[in-house]
Chains A and B, each alone.
Chain A
Amino acid sequence: MAAIIKRYRLILVLIAINLSILILGYDQGTVAFEQAALNLKEMLLVLPPIFVLMGLLDVWVKRETVIAWMGDNSGFKGMLFAFLLGSAAAGPLYAAFPITYTMAKKGVSIINILVFLGAWSTLKIPLLLFEFSNLGIKFTIIRLVFNIIAIAFLSWLVKGLMTERDRKAFSEAIEKNDVSMTLK
């Protein structure tokens, strides 16, 4: 019980803060709970199938295969694949972070992980259609063209700017999130 409380202390503190806001009579307290519940619903709807697919990918697809497709030497093919995977996504960007863990573990290169995140953030197809209908074709196309170029360039740039320390922190993050250890 104590362990659970410790694990979830942050959310408990946040709920307590918002409850006090509510009790003090601010409407924002209610709105905050409503928004949080709405987003939680969205996440709980989107996450289970994604995680099931990630789990299946983890046990069925060999690391060598992933490395060949999207690893350090996968070149244009790997990047194209990262672009396609990211744009086929659903859900907010923070739903993509757990996926990068499986990708990294399977040997997807850092550049392709960054491309995947970039594509997920701005190239989601339903979102593009919605942007087009609200802000017009000119705005959408200009942004789209620049974004595609920028995602590739920024991914390359950010990877180049990584220090030895960043690399270590990245591998440590993967290790820390490794759940296969706790399965045995």
Chain B
Amino acid sequence: MSAFNAVIYMIAVAAMVFSYSKDKKKTRTALKKAWKSIENILPAMLAVLMVIGITMAWISPAFISSLIGESSGIWGVLVASLLGSITLIPGFIAFPLASNLLKLNAGYTQMAAFISTLMMVGIITFPMEKKFLGTGLALKRNLAALIYSVLIAFVIGGLMIWLP
């Protein structure tokens, strides 16, 4: 468990104890709501986690490296954006991966596109997102994030060269 998780647990427990000392009934309602919320997303969440697992198994970091590493230019940016939108790799794998690819002469533009889409665009998690935001809003959020990621990748790629 990371230190960050530990802090969140401590805050939650402290809040719970404080709440219970103030009002037992309200606290019980809160906990019931918490449980109901978890149960509510569980089916969608489990499905999403399994799809992530399957995707990660077939589109492995090594496979991503071979694709982004080899393709350059606009084509490379599009491939990187597509891979970033589909896959869900945690930061502690994605950043070292990008760092290694840069050493292997991949461009900053492609890396920026990959990292931005990885973080902001979620095709696999879309079923979960639309459950909470509605299809229209979820779709527009992802599209806006995708377009931004591609555009900003070129700006970042340019600035990495122009700035000292």
How many of B's residues come within 8 Å of A, CB to CB?
81
Do the beta carbons of A130 and B135 come within 8 Å of each other? Answer: no
Question: Contact mask B117-146 → A, CB, 8 Å, 1/0?
Answer: 001101001001111111111001100110
Chain A nearest CB from B17 CB (Å) reads 11
**Interface stretch (choices A25-33, A63-71, A74-82):** A25-33
A154 to B37 Cα, complex, angstroms = 29
Q: Does B65 belong to the interface (CB within 8 Å)?
A: no
Question: Which B residues are CB-close (under 8 A) to A15?
Answer: 50
Prevailing SS type, chain B contact patch: helix
Do the beta carbons of B98 and A11 come within 8 Å of each other? Answer: no
Chain B nearest CB from A53 CB (Å) reads 5
Q: Which of B15, B92, B120, B144 contacts A56 (CB 8 A)?
A: B15
Question: Which B residues are CB-close (under 8 A) to A131?
Answer: 91, 95, 115
A98 to B128 Cα, complex, angstroms = 9
Query: What is B's interface to A at a CB cutoff of 8 Å?
Result: 1-2, 4-5, 8-9, 11-13, 15-16, 19, 26-27, 29-38, 40-41, 43-54, 56-58, 60, 88, 90-92, 95-96, 98-99, 102, 108, 111-112, 115-116, 119-120, 122, 125, 128-137, 140-141, 144-145, 148, 152, 155-156, 159-160, 163
Query: What is A's interface to B at a CB cutoff of 8 Å?
Result: 7-8, 10-11, 14-15, 17-18, 28-29, 31-37, 39-40, 43, 45-56, 58-60, 90, 92-94, 97-98, 100-102, 110, 114, 117-118, 121-122, 126-127, 130-131, 133-135, 138-139, 142-143, 146, 150, 154, 157-158, 161-163, 165-166, 168-173, 176-177, 179-180, 182-183
